[in-house]
Amino acid sequence: MSDATAAPASNFIRSVVEADLGAGRYATRRWAGRPGFAIEHRQGLPDPARIRTRFPPEPNGYPHIGHAKSIFLNFELAREFGGRCHLRYDDTNPSKEEQEYVDAIADAVRWLGCVWSDDSESNLYFASDYFEHLYACAQSLIESGCAYVDSQSADEVRANRGTLTSPGRDSPFRDRAPGESLRLFREMRSGVHAEGTQLLRAKIDMASPNLNMRDPALYRIRFAEHHRTGNDWCIYPMYDFAHPISDALENITHSLCTLEFEDHRPLYDWLLERLRERGFFDQPLPQQIEFARLNLSYTITSKRKLQELVTLSLVGGWDDPRMTTIAGLRRRGFTPESIRLFCERIGVAKADSWIDMGVLEQALRDDLEPKAPRATAVLDPLKLVIENWPQDQVEECSAPVHPQRPEMGRRVFPISRELWIERDDFAEQPPKGFFRLFPGNMVRLRHGMVIRCTGFEKDANGRVSAVIAEALPDSRSGTPGADAYKVKGNIHWVSAAHALEAEVRLYDRLFAEAMPDAGGRDAKLALNPQSCHVIRAWLEPSLRLAQAGQCWQFERHGYFVADRVDSRPGAPVFNRSVALRDSWGGAKAR
């Protein structure tokens, strides 16, 4: 669908930006060099960024694959149109936010290759740095009669909000004098009032069919410590208030968010318009544009629900390779390029839909196929003894690092009398169409010679414990005699005396159901009990030197990465990133 040379696929947001730029809508903007009110921006030079977008995560968890969609959308749009994309932490909610998450988000964005700062601008912001600005805006809205302090209890506020089918009821405090509201608001800030006793609300319309316009809350009292401002504040702004103002302070032109905020857009516009009238901001104001969130099958894209899996130790942590957090995907062996490719393929639409997990997995295969070096791994080992091979004789075999890319060079590995092969490459009694090892049959040992099976041994339990074979003369791959042998089977192997024994983790999808949390269901009940299978495998000896984070294609098996956390020098641990083919639903590649 997409190839590297094609222009970026169009989407409706790109069209909006093109039209805005074509109409010169943002040409007059000035930029103070940092966020601020209009009075500051007016002193600045014309904004060097043709557009400004932002990625505004709340630091209450690790970012996930859904965030990647938003990250690429915002950063790519800015890059493409000569703009800037800001990384803004939306950290206005004190109790749930932590420094660990702030760091995890920056790591993820950086790892995905998105850049928020360079020599000329550093666009890393915290909404909590705007608390004074937000407070000033609130006071002004109160003075102009656009906001009031409501002294109803939380229950009364709720009861009077009305429903989708019935209008709300005005608060008895709605018409209180601005001077009185202002005094109460200042008292709220200074800690005079208890939590839940006072609420700052916008004065809009209690009968609006849009519930978000029924005098929405702007500020509430919270005696909570904030991860950056400590105990400086005991009132905190609501998202719907902080977000448009943060956008306007930062000169954002296109404020992209997911569809569930569509109903909040009238409030976004109402607030900025009121503040523009009062001189806080100039035209053109930022515009909110909604797009469909990513829903991915066999996983969940909600920080809160992912958090629960971590807290209950149902996974090994936020970076568990089964988690579709960016940290988990990275540890699983996903590359930034594969995630970018995935995001390009799914595109940006205006209607919610579900994307199949197979699309993400295929993006990884397509990214790794041309670049991953090849190696041999025997995951379910069975001994093979070549009885006519001298006991101490070791020879060298070689194979291309990548079959289509000779410039990547060749790899060498030893062959000797005893090898490990895959258990399922041997059959005592071959089923129909089985071309690999069985008594009397010939196969080629990949990059080695042709052998014929002459027998096998069983252990006390009747399980095959060794396969016996003879090497056929002049059959080495790459020698003139090799072509004389016509064999249908070609199996991989490693020399038993030389192979590297390593832990390999075969991962499967974390959930056994396509929509684990659909309809408000508890996703935990849909966990796949077989999502991690740890084995000891025998690997090509050179893999001893694997560096954490390096990936390979283990021939005939799939793509594997040396685990970033548990690998030790000389003793890598491998994660299966993805099997060679999509085997989900059919026979699992085990």
Q: By CB neighbour count within 10 A (0-12 exposed, 13-18 middle, 19+ buried), where does 433 fall?
A: exposed
d(CA 234, CA 226): 9
Active-site residue flag, 501: no
- Six-digit token string for 581: 């083919």
Paired with 415 in beta bridges are 395
- Six-digit token string for 572: 């890598």
d(CA 372, CA 87): 32
Q: By CB neighbour count within 10 A (0-12 exposed, 13-18 middle, 19+ buried), where does 236 fall?
A: buried
- The contact pattern for ligand ATP, residues 260-299, with x = CB under 6 A and - = no contact, is ---------------------------------xx-----
Active-site residue flag, 132: no
**DSSP 8-state code for residue 226:** B
d(CA 83, CA 177): 44
Count the alpha carbons within 13 Å of 427 in the hemisphere toward its beta carbon.
11
Q: Which of 40, 58, 143, 513 is catalytic?
A: 58
Task: Please report, as a single letter, which amino acid is at residue 363.
Answer: A
Q: What is the nearest approach in angstroms of ligand ATP to the Cβ of residue 561?
A: 25
The footprint of ligand ATP on residues 292-311 (CB under 6 A) is 293-294, 301-304
d(CA 146, CA 274): 8
Interacting partner of 35 out of Mg ion, ligand ATP, none (Cβ under 5 to 8 A depending on kind): none
> Contact, 317 vs 62, CB < 8 A?
no
Interacting partner of 590 out of ligand ATP, Mg ion, none (Cβ under 5 to 8 A depending on kind): none
Interacting partner of 29 out of ligand ATP, Mg ion, none (Cβ under 5 to 8 A depending on kind): none
Active-site residue flag, 225: no
Residue keyed to tokens 């209008």: 167
Q: What is the nearest approach in angstroms of ligand ATP to the Cβ of residue 67?
A: 5
Q: What are residue 481's phi and psi, to 5 degrees?
A: -75, -20
* Residue 301 or 495 having the CB closest to ligand ATP: 301
> Contact, 375 vs 552, CB < 8 A?
yes
> Contact, 104 vs 71, CB < 8 A?
no
**How many residues of this chain interact with Mg ion, rule: CB under 5 A?**
1
**How many residues of this chain interact with ligand ATP, rule: CB under 6 A?**
16
Near ligand ATP by CB under 6 A: residue from 29, 69, 331, 576: 69
Near ligand ATP by CB under 6 A: residue from 29, 41, 52, 67: 67
* Residue 159 or 349 having the CB closest to ligand ATP: 349
Q: Which stretch binds ligand ATP (CB under 6 A): 53-61, 129-137, 154-162, 385-393?
A: 53-61
By CB under 6 A, tell whether 58 contacts ligand ATP.
Answer: yes
The footprint of Mg ion on residues 44-73 (CB under 5 A) is 58
Q: Which residue of this chain has its Cβ atom nearest to ligand ATP in the complex? A: 66
Paired with 464 in beta bridges are 458
Interacting partner of 422 out of Mg ion, ligand ATP, none (Cβ under 5 to 8 A depending on kind): none
The footprint of ligand ATP on residues 230-259 (CB under 6 A) is 257-258
d(CA 70, CA 292): 10
* Residue 53 or 531 having the CB closest to ligand ATP: 53
Q: What is the nearest approach in angstroms of ligand ATP to the Cβ of residue 93?
A: 10
Q: Which of 34, 161, 293, 452 is catalytic?
A: 293
Q: Which of 303, 331, 476, 509 is catalytic?
A: 303
| Strands in 551-590 per DSSP E | 551-554, 558-562, 573-579
Q: What is the nearest approach in angstroms of Mg ion to the Cβ of residue 58?
A: 5
d(CA 273, CA 266): 10
Task: Please report, as a single letter, which amino acid is at residue 127.
Answer: A
Q: What is the nearest approach in angstroms of Mg ion to the Cβ of residue 564?
A: 27
**Contacts with Mg ion, residue ranges (CB under 5 A):** 58
Q: Which residues participate in catalysis according to the annotation?
A: 58, 293, 303
**Contacts with ligand ATP, residue ranges (CB under 6 A):** 56-58, 66-67, 69-70, 90, 257-258, 293-294, 301-304
